[in-house]
Structure 1
């Protein structure tokens, strides 16, 4: 177990833990929570050994293996699979020992080295790594891509996969959900539920903490307070404690009354739709923890919009995507991500935008926000539309060398040039006061934005949006760097906002609390999603299962699979079945297409079958060798058998790689 007894922990002159004590038992899954700056990351540094206690006693079992996500951005030409495999420190050590043993004539050492390599799971390490990579949202075609070919967010996903690959007794995860979309988040939750070691996780995602943790450790005023239960249970217990503190509770009454007023108002307005009912439940939870919310040191509100055009926006046959690169040859077409969108955005709507990563959620929002031009069709804006846009990457709307005050001064000039008057003071002192409402006080208003934390940048973007007094809010992952208290403040502000909200987020608590309806961006289009987030989670799991079964079918029957693809491209009648018009010509065309696909697939299929036969032979030989190693043998015989086991494993690994390449070739042939 891990024990802290009267531990004092300092960073420079600041005391983060003051005579703090707590015990964490083996196998517990602990959520570490507290305000920003309370000391969560410093406690992590104590747990992983990079920081030492300034007083008291700290104990962690010496034999415990530790897994954690490296914070630096990986720079390597290694394939994604090889990079993640190297996260298995036990395997890497066993491989090093095999190389060292092979350089000697010590048969006994070689025998032990081969056995350790086998015990470390060398035979299935690539498959285990690829399961992690695919679970975190990568495509099968990306498994062998070099790490450097991925963007920063995807590289951090590979760092997370590498940490999960490491055999560990203690797993430390600091904001693991920041770079994940909802489908990868659902997969990670399921993986962590199966994890058998001790988990300590810092996260500002309430539903993630609720799903994964069974203990909550709260850092408060230099103390560690342990609560049995997940984050929601912690909130309930803490709210009860605060309610008993009558002096503090008395000061909160005005804020609680204000909170209760909007809870009652929105519960009365909610319809019978599943999404709205989900929102009512979220508001009821806020009702229970009102004392805790009222105690938060940060809150804000959106001003009432000057006008509410209806519809706010109309999309007719709209297509969204990206123009060709500047250095692309003349005539290069744009990249279309989403097309044929016919939808309207009405005054007062609260729309959650769902969809797997890469389907086009951010592209849709960027186009509505005027950051991208539509590729085709029409986007018609209502008269007086005033957009407040929170970009997923804050630096898309911030300048790293400018200060918060310079951002506000520039915003005043830009809105004045557009003839918009937001009824706000525009003197420097007025702007300083406004920034102070978002916790930018004193010298912070003249600090370069590039040196600020992610949470501070996010607060500055919110500050600028509030000042603009928008009637349409476009929010693309607004909570990525916000702590739980600021997320609650955002949730309350959005619930009181009188305008329209379009929200992309993997924070399910925020989606539940704010959205009355959902749009699903999938398969190149946008359609209404008739259900709540629980239905969407089931949809994701069903979709993943369908894709796995579809891939399995295509590998078994490539010709049949190509036939299905050909048929799915054929014209359909009103009932969704094949049209009987021009049937003879259509049948001839289908037959020709099937024959072409079959001709292309035949040699690949033959090689694939040969691979599978050889893999089966090697698997049987591997089982025989392992059985031999389980019997008493002389050291020389063990070494020789171990060498053969390694050779079989290497050949099997090479065949598995070729098998993957061939299956991808069959997929590409089917899609040709």
Structure 2
């Protein structure tokens, strides 16, 4: 297990952890949450041994292996698959052992090295590495491309793949979803749900945390608090605890006021002096309960648009792309006032290209894009620096924008406006290049709000936003009276904001008839088809010309026999499907009960225990379903007999 005992950790003059104690059990999946700058990454550095506690002890089993994502961008001409394979430290150690044994001509050591290679899965290592790459969104023709040929975001995916392939008892993931699209995020969720070791995740993606974690550790004011349950359960339980804490604080304040009134009234009277002095001592001894002061939570709103043209846009036979290369063609869509459109699709299919074309950042390659009269576009670029100047400060950006659209605005008005987005004092002149990702994102939001748009084009607006700011954005978008077109891998934001979806795939843009759950099912089916095609492409051609032909009747009989052989397994899978549906329904009911805030402390504890048991049951059922699915697939392909 991982144990922190009375740990104090400082970074410079800042106290990151102050006399904290915490225990994490083997196999737990933990979400580490807290405001930006609270010290979550410093805690990771402590667990990884890069930092050492100033006081106290931080212990974990000495035999545990650690895997975490390197934050540097790799610079190498090495092929992608080989680069990922180097992340399997157990395999690399076994290979080094074999090299040493062969150099020493030590037969016994060579045998041990071969055993170590087998234990490390050397014989299917390359296919495992490529499966990870395909799951993270790489194409088949990119599997051996040089690492340096990929952009920064794709190289960070390579670093993630190196982490996932490394067998370890403890995995630390710091914002693993930042460079992923929705397709890869869904795949990563499935992979992590089957990871058998201890997992600690820092993430601002609510649905990702809910799907993966079963324990939440909250870092606030240099203190760690452990909560049972995923992020949604943590939010509910913490809110209830804050209500109780506030009630205790209010009661204490009443007691303090009563004591103080007695002291003030009788301290000068000789007959009451002794009693007054005892009250002073009681006041000094009284434990001071910290008041519950909500940290200045970020909130903002989009101003009412000056007009709402309808339709906003008309796209007719539109082709979008770069140079002479069209990525999507024949786009025929109409965007109406008040619509909330989520744009879905894998990386590289053209989501951002379509948005940039509508935002006038790219010219249309063909067709027409007709704008409604009075259309005002507010564009949030996936890379904030596409619309920001790194050598200028926030105030300079506002002054330039105000000069274009509201020259009557005074500098103090602009300073006050920036203050709403947490740019105060000298910070308004700090150059953008030195700001954090979250600060840049807030500046882009401030620029959007000032423009008073009636059409918002948002391309991955949450990449660097913490959970509080994401909530503020969701509320602001729901109150916005104009039209929203949103590209995001944040499913909570998509669910809360969008009421219809476009799918960008295979060079086309079509309406997607369904919700995000339907899209996830569509992704799974597409992934299975891709895996089947990849498998078929690797299988040797059947030597039809040299072997006797098998009659169609024999083929049908053989297929029927295989289906009969697989039938009991498929029946069990159907039972598991119904069981998982029932478990999911029970979990939703219990979480809804917690969310009402009416449960007693005893009921909250009972529900927490039941939610933990449900999570274990779901994990067990899902694992059995997957194993049965593999057996069924093997039977129907004729590669193995039934288990």
TM-score by length of 1: 0.72
Whole-angstrom CA distance in 2 between matches of 1:107 and 1:517: 66
Q: What does residue 399 of structure 1 align with? A: 389
Superposition pairs for residues 462-481 of structure 1, below 5 Å? Answer: 462-481=445-464
SS in 1 for 2:484: strand
Aligned counterparts of 2:84 and 2:534: Cα–Cα separation in 1: 24
Q: Which runs of 5+ in 2 are unaligned?
A: 251-291, 546-643
Q: Corresponding residue for 2:348?
A: 358
* 1:179 alignment counterpart: 179
Residue of structure 1 aligned with 2:365, choices 366, 369, 375? 375
- Could you tell me how far apart the structure 1 residues matched to 2:356 and 2:302 are? 21
Cα deviation digits, residues 522-572 of structure 1 (max 9, x gap): 11111111111111111110111122334445566989xxxxxxxxxxxxx
User: In structure 1, what is the Cα distance between the partners aligned to 2:242 and 2:448?
Assistant: 33
Q: Which residue of 1 aligns with 2:556?
A: none
Map of 1:489 onto structure 2: 472
CA distance in 2: counterparts of 1:558 and 1:367, whole angstroms: 45
State the alpha-carbon separation in 2 of the partners of residues 247 and 469 from structure 1. Answer: 42
- 5 Å-filtered alignment, 1:370-519, equals 370-413=360-403, 415=404, 420-421=405-406, 426-519=409-502
Partner of 2:230: 230
- Alpha carbons of structure 1 residues 557 and 425: separation in structure 2 relative to 1, 3 Å: farther
Match of 1:239 in 2: 239
Q: Partner of 1:103: helix, strand, or coil?
A: helix
Q: How far apart are the structure 2 equivalents of 1:378 and 1:249?
A: 64
CA contact (8 A) 1:242 1:248 kept: no
CA contact (8 A) 1:243 1:249 kept: no
What are the Cα deviations for residues 612-650 of structure 1, in whole angstroms up to 9, with x where unaligned? xxxxxxxxxxxxxxxxxxxxxxxxxxxxxxxxxxxxxxx
TM-score (norm 2): 0.76
Structure 2 CA distance, aligned partners of 1:320 and 1:309?
24
Cα distance in 2 for partners of 1:306, 1:20 equals 53
**Contact map agreement 1:475 1:504 (CA 8 A) in 2:** yes
Q: 1:177 to 1:363 in 2, by over 3 A?
A: same
Q: Is the 8 A contact 1:425 1:431 kept in 2?
A: no
Structure 1 residue 108: deviation in Å? 2.7
Q: In the TM superposition, what are the counterparts of 1:257-656 in structure 2 within 5 Å?
A: 297-323=297-323, 334-413=324-403, 415=404, 420-421=405-406, 426-553=409-536
The CA deviation at 1:135 is: 0.8
Residue 601 of structure 2: aligned partner: none
Output the CA distance in 1 between the equivalents of 2:382 and 2:445: 12
Stretch of structure 1 that moved more, 539-548 or 506-515: 539-548
The Cα shift of 1:197 comes to 0.4
Residue 37 (structure 1) shift: 1.1
Going from structure 1 to structure 2, the CA distance change for 1:309 and 1:399 (only over 3 Å counts) comes to same
Count of residue pairs the alignment pairs up: 503
C-alpha distance in structure 1 between counterparts of 2:540 and 2:513, whole Å = 35
Bigger relative contact order (CA 8 A; separation at least 6): 1
Q: Which residue of 1 aligns with 2:51?
A: 51
Partner of 1:203: 203
Range with bigger deviation, 539-548 or 454-463: 539-548
Q: How far apart in 2 are the matches of 1:522 and 1:482?
A: 28
Render the CA deviation track for 1:7-44: whole Å, top value 9, x for unaligned: 11111111121111111000000000001111111111
Task: Give the C-alpha shift of residue 294 in structure 1.
Answer: 7.4
What's the Cα RMSD here?
Answer: 2.1
Partner of 2:511, secondary structure, is strand
Alignment CA distance shift 1:337-1:293 (3 Å): farther
| 1:12 corresponding residue in structure 2 | 12
Shift of 1:99: 1.7
Give the match for residue 611 of structure 1: none
User: SS state of the match for residue 209, structure 2?
Assistant: helix
Change (3 A) 1:411 1:31: same
In the alignment, which residue of structure 2 is the partner of 1:139?
Answer: 139
Deviation sequence 1:323-367 (CA, Å, 0-9, x none)? 1xxxxxxxxxx1101111111111111100011111110000000
Q: Is the 8 A contact 1:293 1:488 kept in 2?
A: no
